[in-house]
Structure 1
Amino acid sequence: MTVIQERPATDARTLIGATLRATLASNMQAKFPELSDDQAERGIGQMLAFLAAGAHSDTPLSPSPLVDDFWHAFLLHTQAYQDFCGQMLGKFVHHQPGFLDKAEHGGGKALRARTVDAIVAAGFVIDMEFWPELDLADCSQCHANCHNSPKHA
């Protein structure tokens, strides 16, 4: 008899230290004063989960607009971002805005659903508050059309 024990999903916030999390949360709350401390912390987790899943995906993934804002906040801390990518992801994850062919990738909602599925498959917690587009009708990608595509040079 084989016993399969599922691992509980990992909170991606644990991928960076408390000091960097506090800095990123503070940066986001300065830009978006309506974000509570809890929302800022959870948003950081969703951004880190997106990066970890995207670093090892064979297909393009796309953040929600809010997750993308958290990614932008992290990118501004270039050394910390570079260190995180190298140490935690094994490679640098570039932020590459661009347009993906809807026929090939299924449009924004399908791309976002694939992203959420990839995050779950990578073993991370999903917080649906940060992926609201999945409850909406089919639409285009985020306002900046950002994604992490392994096909992007």
Structure 2
Amino acid sequence: MPNTYTQIHLQLVFAVKHRDAVIAPNWKYDLYSFMTGIISQYGHKLLIINGMPDHVHLLVGLRPTQSLSELMKNLKQSSAKWVNDNRLTQGHFSWQEGYGAFSYSKSQLPAVIRYIEKQEDHHTKRSFLDEYRQVLDAFGVSYEEQYLFQPLG
């Protein structure tokens, strides 16, 4: 009987609504752990997760059993609910609509992992929006500036 064989590695990037810097150091790793559980629950493999107070980067080995859009919907809804249920922010927490998803070959994974590991270093030199534009440009993704992300809250 034939089997399905895939190698799909995606960097996923998404931001807190209005790019509010509310992901606090004292609970961000709990959030990352929760998100890791969601990804694993659907049979995908999380290679690394890291971010800043206003956004998150994940590198995922995606299984073809679930669409990317369905994974992102589940990941964002469940993690926002977790933040709110645990009352980790002063107001209502939510993620912005949309996300970035960028594919990589296996040989590129070590560099992407290093990039995600060093988010704090990157953002001493470059804003999230500048970083995001650079990734979009590097991948040749057309975009309209007003639709990138909602302005800062």
TM-score (norm 2): 0.35
Q: Which one has the bigger strand percentage?
A: 2
Q: Which one has the bigger helix percentage?
A: 1
TM-score (norm 1): 0.35
